[in-house]
């Protein structure tokens, strides 16, 4: 430990205030705002879903439960145990139960405390709280150890961390925007394809394409009430996949279940084969992937439907990309907004329009999209790594700060 620094218990240099047990049946739509665990998000306070109370409903003095500007709070139970927030607004909130407030004493600067808490306390307090049901006590918090330099050194560290944090945040924001642009590059080209239709392009409903024989079959994983029982799934056999197996544009067969050949043979519906285009239409709506398999068949769960193309007229690779486009998404998003269930029924899918160019043009579109996809994925990987590196840099700077090794602001 650096000379002049001390290791102190948090309770020695900082008081801690627990929240008040407001009764939910006294919540109001207006009044004094209550700060609940759900309002602590991303080291700040989310105030869009506040509840309120009227002090006249209680006999207590609520002054000690106030959260004023720059106060630091922590979630003390639930899935977000240890999450920190700081009140950056001029609004005065009131602590609900299981939300605590740090009140630093004269030995410690509030910004120094916040920097330390934001990097160390969340992880350490989670461990101290146990695994299954995280739950922090005041005693656990007060016994947490904090390295404490003199006030002048605290001020120096805060100034350096402010400068480094601003630079890292700016660099991260730029990287995130570049990542967003890289992802949109592919989508922008895809959308442009369907906005600039040429001669010979066809726009027909799925029902019409089925009648014309351009799409050979369109069924879902409806098993007619014969859903496999848990004990009928095997460690190996015929793959049985659901919407959760569709990851990005691919199918993750490691997430598949399996049926015996005998059981799989009883299914007449929901039987997909190689090169079928799969569409997640229930619960998880929207993912599209082409089935690539050496299996004779794959059984689909009820959350998937498949489109089997007549390749004289429609390429599976083209259809899959079309079904990922904004042009197609808009059609099922309308259906979902009109329904209380997160699904797109087969009957509605048959009404959706599909834009089909001549087969030679489809081939060129597929080639262009594949090349663009490779380029955009490379860019995404670069910018995502940049973001990861910046997060690691931030952790490194903070670690040096509280070990006494921080010299100057780190260049980004």
Question: Which of 1.10.1660, 1.20.120, 3.40.50, 1.10.287 is the CATH number of 150-201+357-412?
Answer: 1.10.287
The superfamily (CATH) of domain 6-148 is DNA methylase specificity domains (3.90.220.20)
Per-residue pLDDT of the chain (412 residues; tens, 9 = 90+): 677 899 999 999 999 999 999 999 999 999 999 999 999 987 788 888 899 999 999 999 999 999 999 999 999 887 778 889 999 999 999 999 999 999 999 999 999 998 888 876 556 555 545 555 667 788 888 888 889 999 999 999 899 888 888 888 888 888 888 878 877 877 788 788 877 777 889 999 999 999 999 998 777 555 444 678 888 899 999 999 999 999 888 899 999 999 999 988 888 778 899 999 999 998 789 999 999 999 999 999 888 999 999 999 999 999 999 999 888 999 999 988 887 778 888 889 999 999 999 999 999 999 988 888 788 788 888 888 888 888 788 778 877 887 777 765 444 5
Among 113, 190, 181, 183, residue whose Cα is nearest residue 149: 113
Strand partners, 67: 93
Strand ranges for 106-249 from DSSP E? 145-148, 202-205, 215-220, 233-234, 238-241, 246-247
Whole-model pTM over 0.85: no
Q: Does domain 210-346 have CATH number 3.30.70.270?
A: no
Q: Own/partner pairs for 186-195, CB < 8 Å, 24+ apart?
A: 186/369, 186/372, 186/373, 186/376, 187/325, 187/326, 189/368, 189/369, 189/372, 190/321, 190/324, 190/325, 190/326, 190/369, 191/325, 191/326, 191/327, 193/325, 193/365, 194/322, 194/325, 194/327, 194/355
Domains of the chain, residue spans: 6-148, 150-201+357-412, 210-346
């Amino acid at each position: 430990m650096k000379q002049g620094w001390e290791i102190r218990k948090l309770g020695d240099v900082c008081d801690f205030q627990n929240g008040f047990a407001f009764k939910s049946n006294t919540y109001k739509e207006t009044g004094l705002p209550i700060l609940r665990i759900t309002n602590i998000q991303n080291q700040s306070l989310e105030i869009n879903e506040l509840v309120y109370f009227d002090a006249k409903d209680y006999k207590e003095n609520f002054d000690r439960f106030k959260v004023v500007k720059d106060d630091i709070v922590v979630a003390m139970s639930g899935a977000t145990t240890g999450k920190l927030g700081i009140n950056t607004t001029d609004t005065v909130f009131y602590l609900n139960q299981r939300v605590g407030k740090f009140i630093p004493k004269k030995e410690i600067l509030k910004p120094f405390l916040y920097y330390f808490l934001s990097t160390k306390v969340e992880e350490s307090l989670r461990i101290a709280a146990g695994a299954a049901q995280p739950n922090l006590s005041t005693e656990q918090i007060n016994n947490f150890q904090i390295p404490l330099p003199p006030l002048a050194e605290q001020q120096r560290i805060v100034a350096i961390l402010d400068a480094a944090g601003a630079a890292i945040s700016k660099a991260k924001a730029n990287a995130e925007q570049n990542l967003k642009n890289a992802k949109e590059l592919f989508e922008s080209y895809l959308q442009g394809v369907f906005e600039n239709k040429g001669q010979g392009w066809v726009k027909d409903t799925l029902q019409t394409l089925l009648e014309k024989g351009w799409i050979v079959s369109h069924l879902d994983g409806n098993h007619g009430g014969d859903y496999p029982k848990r004990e009928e799934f095997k460690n190996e056999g015929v793959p049985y996949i659901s919407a959760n197996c569709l990851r990005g544009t691919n199918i993750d067969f490691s997430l598949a279940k399996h049926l015996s050949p005998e059981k799989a043979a009883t299914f007449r519906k929901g039987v997909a084969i190689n090169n079928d285009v799969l569409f997640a239409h229930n619960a998880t709506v929207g993912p599209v992937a082409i089935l690539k398999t050496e299996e004779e068949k794959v059984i689909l769960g009820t959350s998937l439907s498949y489109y089997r193309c007549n390749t004289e007229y429609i390429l599976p690779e083209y259809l899959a990309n079309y079904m990922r486009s904004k042009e197609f998404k808009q059609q099922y998003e309308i259906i979902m907004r009109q329904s209380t269930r997160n699904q797109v029924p087969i009957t509605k899918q048959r009404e959706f329009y599909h834009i089909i160019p001549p087969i030679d043009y489809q081939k060129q579109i597929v080639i262009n999209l594949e090349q663009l996809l490779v380029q955009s994925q490379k860019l995404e990987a670069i910018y995502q790594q940049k973001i990861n590196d910046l997060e690691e840099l931030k952790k490194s700077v903070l670690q040096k700060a509280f070990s006494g090794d921080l010299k100057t602001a780190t260049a980004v």
